[in-house]
Structure formats: C-alpha cells, structure tokens
C-alpha cells in the first residue's frame, strides 16, 4: 500500500488539474466575498438614499394634465406605496439561495463556514475525484501495475489516502482564500474572532467531506469513466439529493411517525455536512459523525470488493 | 528446464461466450513463447489472466511453481493490449510512477530502460505527442521495470516501423539470452514471430489447438517440391524408380514431393526421358502462416486470395 500511495501522491503532484482546481476554488471564493461586499455596499447606498428621501419629506411632483386626464390622479406620491428596493433585493437573494439565508447570524465565522456547510466545496471535490480517480482506468495505466499485487484493496486505500490529502489541501486553500478576502472586503461588517471555533468546525466538515469523497471513489471504481462520475455526482448534488430523500421521507412518514423534525436527509453525507455548523449541538454532531463514518466504511469496503472482482 | 508458467484448464466466460476454453499451456524458463491466433481468438484474455488483470471463470494457473493465490506477481511484467499511459506525463515520469508502485529504489533505471527501447531523447515531450510506435516502446519499457522473470507482451510490434520491429526483436533476444527473461509474445505478424519465438501456442475460438516447438514446426512445415503436370498418375512410378518415396498426390495434376528438395534436377531428367511434360516444378517453402492457416482451417482464405 505504501508503494501505491507514493505513486498516487506523485501523480497528484504531477497533474495540472490538481492545481487548476485549487486555484479555481480560491478565485471563486475570493470573488464571491468580493461580490458580497459589492452587494452590501449597494444595499447601503439604497438605504442611505431612502434615508435622505425621508429627511426631505414626501415627494411632490408637479404634473400638468390636460382636461380629460385631470379627473382622479393624485398629485402627492406616498413613499410607502412604492415597492421597497432593499426588500426586493433581499427577497430575490433569498430566492436564489433556495430559501437559505446567506448568513445565519451576522458574524464573520458563520459567513466563512457557510461555504463549507453549504456544500459548495463538494463541487470541487466532485471534479477532482472524476479526474483523479478515473484516470488510471480511463487511460489504462492501471494495467501496468495492478497485476503485481494479489490484494487490490491496497490500491483503493492508496487512492483514498491521496484523496484525503487533496481534500485537506482544498480546505486549507479555501479557508485561507475566505479569511483573506473577508479581512480585505468585509472586516467591518463581518469581523472574525473565534478562530478555534472555525478550526473545530472545519475539522468536522473535513471529516464529512472525506466521507463524500469515499462515495465518489466507489462510483469511480465501479464505472472507471470520468463522464459517468461527473454526471451521476452532479445530478445527485443538484437534484437527486433533495428529490430522492424528500420523497423517501414522505413515503416513510406514511408508514411510521418519527415526528415533524425527522428527515431522512440527515442520514446522508450531504445532510450531515449541512448540519455541521459552528453552533451544532452535541447530539447532532455525534449523529452526523456516526453517519459519515458508517457511509465511509461501506463505500471503501464496496470499492475494495469491486476492484478485487473486476477484470481490468 | 523449470516450468515458469503452467495453466490448467483455464476457462474465461463473458456472458455466454467462452473467451478462453480449457486452455492448458506450459512455458519453460528461458522460452520465447509465441501465442498465435486471429482477432478474438482469446490470446489477450489469456494474457490478461496470467498477468493477474483478470480472473479465470474456472481452472487455475501456477506462476514460478506456486499456486496463483500464493504467488507474488511482482516478477511478471506485462504489456497487454494498448499501452496504458497518462497523456500529460513524460516517458520518464511513467517509468518513475511504475518504479514507485513496484517499490524499486535503484536510481537511474528509468533512463536505462528508455535508452534500451530507444526513447532516451524524448526528454520533456509528453506522451500525447508520441507516435503509436513510441507508445509501444514505452509500454515495453514499463513491462521491464522491476527486472521481471516473465514478460508478457501482447502485440508488441503493433504500429512499429520495420526498423523499430528489428530493434524490438533484438531487445527481446538480448534480454532473453543475457538476462534469462522468459517472454510470452502474441503477434499477428507471424513471420516476425517465427523469427524470434522458440515455442508456439496456436489458439482459435478460445481453444488451444496445438503447442509446438520451433524444431517440430520446421519439420512439420517442411519444404516440398510442387510438381504440376497433366500426367500426374504416370509420374508416381517414375518417382519410385528414382527412390523418392515421400510424396503425395494432391490432385489429378499436382504432386507434392517431400524430403527431396535437392533432387529437382533428377526429377526433371526422369520426366524428360519419359516425355512427360512439366507445367511447373518449384520448391515451396512453408511458412508459419501456412502452418497456422492449415491448422485452423482458414487455408482456403489464402488460396482464394481473401
């Protein structure tokens, strides 16, 4: 296993995509923070304009009408009857975020951690896994070395270990990009002070993301094709996760009553990632970690079994 | 000589199709074993099984005298089907990765092998810019990483130019003679295979039709005289008369005469004395291809020009 791990780490180091994904993640997260800053400034400007208008009193228009139009048109416009631009912006932002508020509480820690608990980093992890895990199958390089061992699980563990290293790198790069960008653009609005809380939550998130990586490794081992890993993972990420588990939850609720708060999604890796916020309760934390551990063990075990039985 | 690889009733079934059907072969240490068969005959599947990339449905094989499950397969190098490469890496990096996988510490083995297969000057050129022949050479170099005792090469001269074919043949011969490496080689270029291999396995529709060594093959496909005449039946007593016994009447006007290659002048003389017209009198040299086609029943393809 050690030899295979050395080989995979070397390959990770030599592949351009490794660096491109990290750089893209950093740029996007940096850009998102910048955009948030611009949006907040725009909201401030709107707010200031409104205050200025309020100070000046009701808006009065001088309008001249011809005789036919003169009948029922009010000459004074009441501000309260106009749609509030800030409200519209907030509502549209809220709609775009699928009902989830951008920041639960107004502090920098939660803003930073939102990108992790909001499953955003999974996108980069999916792209990495699709490229890295399937490359030996797709290009056929695996034929050069897999025959030298009886226990093919060694190779799965080597791939998984390399994936963990990459996930750690992705977390470090993303966290630094967010920290720096927040310091630059949002230091006043979202100050960060609880660094230990951030690190602790990031470690939980890292564990959950590694569990998701194990599922990607399984899909890559079974299919051996980048396109299949990308399509299935993105479909699950974008649509399948909510759709499947919402339907299953409704179905189960028809037969058994687990209470209103019960949802099957909390027993998935993506559901666990969403739960692992800075203020997560101990019970929810334990549950999420147990769910991730079980899924990880099953996925790695299934990957080992698949490769062991697979004809290359 | 020690048997290095022995298969016993190996069978591989994909769905309902038997890709390999009860194949039992034995390969001795130091052999260059030529595996002959048309496309889809089961050569590659057999090679994949013995190189540990696929599992047999039934049957077993022993490498280096040990049962499959207890064998360390690091002593086998293989190039099966096309060369598996990462397009964006260099030839050196490919060898370095394989070196790490096998766990070799030796410095400079990559350059040594690149030099051996004629890729020493590729430098930082990425494999995606390689020609098919260069990829084949890289595949052979990859198979040789780790000083294997048994090297399995599936169509190693595919895509190589004539000069490249000679070079690869020389490399294989040198490694076989100097390092004692055993080779299993499959190729469609039977003439090329006949120049290098000392044993042959002929496989068709998944079944091993025959295992034969080079000397026996030469004997079996021995040269003959082909005599074409309109009076073939009158010729036979004359052949007996000049003490030629090993002949065969193929048709009304064609006789094959064996073990008398040097006696064409005697034959023509005796026929001339008896005023029997000769249409053609030629020495025919049998090739491995002829032997293979005859054995597999595809000889009519050649005769019909197909």
The CA distance from A117 to A274, in Å, is: 5
Question: DSSP string covering A146-200, please?
Answer: GGG-S-THHHHHHHHHHHHHHHHHHHHHHHHHHHHHHHHHSTTTS----HHHHHH
Instruction: Tell me whether residues B78 and A6 touch, CB distance under 8 A.
Output: no
User: For the segment A143-199, what is each residue's pLDDT rounded down to a tens digit?
Assistant: 998 888 888 999 999 999 999 999 999 999 999 999 999 889 888 888 888 888 899
B284 or A99: whose pLDDT is higher? B284
Partner residue opposite A135 with nearest CB, options B54, B86, B102: B86
Non-local (6+) Cβ contacts of B198 within 8 A are B31, B32, B33, B213, B214
For domain B1-75+148-221, give the CATH number. 3.40.50.300
Nearest CA in chain B to A4: B101
CB-CB under 8 Å, A140 with B52 = no
Helix (H) or strand (E) holding B192: helix B190-196
Residue A137, pLDDT score: 94
Per-chain mean pLDDT for chain A: 84
What CATH number was assigned to the domain covering residues B223-285?
3.30.70.980
Q: Look at residue A86 in the predicted model and tell me its pLDDT.
A: 52
Annotate A237-255 with b (16+ C-beta within 10 A) or e (fewer).
beeebeeebeeebeeeeee
The answer to whether the CB of A108 falls within 8 A of the CB of A191 is yes
Segment among A81-95, A237-251, B208-222 with least mean pLDDT: A81-95
Q: At what angle do helices A153-185 and A16-56 cross, to 10 degrees?
A: 30
Residue A176, chain B, CB below 8 Å: the answer is no
Out of A136, A146, A309, name the one closest to residue B53 (CB). Answer: A146
Residues in chain A: 312
Whether the CB-CB separation of B102 and B145 falls below 8 Å is answered with yes
The pLDDT of residue B258 is 79
Higher pLDDT, B252 or A123: A123
Average pLDDT over residues A90-102: 52
Question: Looking at A19-23, A52-56, A266-270, which range is the least confident one?
Answer: A52-56
This prediction's pTM: 0.80
Q: What's the pLDDT tens digit per position in A213-222?
A: 999 999 999 9
Collect all residues of chain B within an 8 Å Cβ-Cβ radius of residue A312: 48, 53-54
* Closest residue, chain A, to B74 (C-alpha): A148
Test mutation, B100, B154, B155, chain A, max A CBs within 10 A: B100
B82 and B127 Cβ atoms separated by less than 8 Å: no
Give the one of B72, B97, B103 whose C-beta lies nearest to A11's C-beta. B97
pLDDT, one tens digit for every residue, chain B (306 residues):
788 888 999 999 998 889 999 999 999 999 999 998 888 888 999 999 988 899 999 998 888 877 555 455 778 899 998 888 999 999 999 999 999 998 888 888 999 999 988 899 988 999 999 988 889 889 999 999 988 999 999 988 877 888 888 888 888 998 899 889 999 999 877 778 888 899 999 888 889 988 888 877 776 666 678 889 888 888 888 888 888 888 888 888 888 887 777 788 888 888 888 888 888 888 776 777 777 777 776 655 555 544
CB B193 within 8 A of CB B36: yes
Model pLDDT, residue B182 = 94
> Which ipTM was obtained for this model?
0.77
pLDDT tens column, A199-233: 999 999 999 999 999 999 999 999 999 999 999 99
Q: B13 and chain A: CB distance < 8 Å anywhere?
A: no
């Amino acid at each position: 296993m050690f030899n295979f791990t050395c080989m995979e780490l070397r390959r990770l180091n030599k592949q351009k995509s490794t660096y491109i994904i990290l750089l893209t993640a950093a740029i996007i997260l940096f850009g998102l923070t910048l955009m948030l800053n611009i949006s907040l400034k725009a909201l401030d400007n709107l707010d200031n304009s409104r205050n200025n208008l309020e100070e000046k009193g009701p808006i009065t228009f001088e309008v001249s009408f011809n005789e036919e139009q003169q009948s029922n048109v009010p000459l004074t416009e009441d501000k309260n009857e106009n749609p509030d631009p800030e409200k519209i912006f907030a509502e549209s932002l809220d709609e775009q975020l699928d009902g989830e508020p951008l920041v639960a509480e107004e502090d920098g820690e939660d803003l930073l951690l939102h990108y992790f608990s909001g499953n955003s980093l999974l996108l980069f992890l999916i792209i990495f896994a699709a490229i890295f895990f399937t490359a030996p199958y797709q290009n056929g390089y695996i034929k050069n070395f897999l025959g030298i061992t009886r226990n093919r699980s060694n190779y799965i563990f080597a791939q998984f270990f390399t994936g963990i290293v990459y996930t750690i790198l992705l977390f470090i790069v993303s966290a630094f990009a967010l920290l720096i960008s927040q310091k630059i653009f949002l230091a006043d609005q979202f100050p960060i002070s609880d660094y230990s809380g951030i690190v602790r939550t990031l470690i939980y998130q890292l564990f959950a993301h590694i569990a998701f990586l194990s599922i990607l490794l399984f899909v890559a081992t079974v299919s051996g094709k980048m396109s299949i890993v990308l399509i299935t993972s993105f479909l699950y990420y974008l649509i399948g996760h909510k759709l499947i588990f919402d339907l299953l939850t409704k179905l189960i609720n028809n037969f058994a009553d687990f209470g209103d708060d019960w949802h099957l999604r909390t027993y998935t890796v993506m559901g666990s990632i969403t739960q692992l916020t800075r203020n997560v309760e101990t019970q929810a934390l334990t549950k999420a970690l147990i769910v991730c551990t079980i899924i990880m063990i099953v996925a790695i075990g299934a990957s080992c079994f698949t490769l062991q039985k697979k004809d290359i | 000589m020690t048997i290095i690889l022995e298969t016993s009733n190996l069978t591989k079934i994909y769905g309902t199709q038997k890709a390999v059907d009860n194949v039992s072969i034995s390969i001795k240490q130091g052999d260059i074993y030529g595996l002959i068969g048309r496309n889809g005959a089961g050569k590659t599947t057999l090679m994949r099984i013995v190189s540990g990339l696929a599992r047999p449905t039934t049957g077993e094989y022993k490498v280096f005298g040990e049962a499959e499950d207890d064998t360390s397969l690091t002593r086998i190098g293989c190039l099966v089907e096309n060369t598996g490469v990462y397009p964006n890496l260099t030839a050196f990096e490919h060898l370095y990765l394989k070196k790490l996988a096998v766990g070799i510490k030796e410095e400079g083995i990559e350059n040594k092998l690149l030099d051996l297969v004629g890729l020493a000057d590729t430098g930082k050129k990425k494999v995606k810019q390689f020609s098919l022949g260069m990829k084949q050479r890289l595949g052979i170099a990859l198979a040789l990483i780790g000083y294997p005792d048994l090297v399995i090469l599936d169509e190693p001269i595919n895509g190589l130019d004539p000069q490249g074919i000679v070079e690869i043949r020389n490399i294989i011969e040198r490694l076989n003679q100097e390092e004692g490496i055993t080779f299993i080689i499959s190729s469609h270029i039977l003439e090329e295979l006949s120049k290098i291999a000392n044993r042959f396995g002929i496989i068709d529709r998944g079944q091993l039709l025959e295992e034969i060594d080079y000397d026996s093959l030469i004997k079996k496909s021995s040269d003959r005289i082909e005599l074409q005449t309109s009076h073939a039946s009158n010729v036979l007593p004359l052949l007996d008369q000049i003490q030629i016994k090993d002949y065969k009447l193929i048709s009304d006007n064609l006789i094959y005469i064996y073990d008398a290659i040097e006696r064409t002048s005697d034959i023509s003389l005796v026929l001339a004395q008896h005023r029997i017209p000769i249409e053609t009198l030629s020495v025919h040299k049998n090739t491995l291809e002829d032997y293979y086609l005859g054995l597999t029943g595809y000889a009519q393809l050649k005769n019909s020009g197909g």
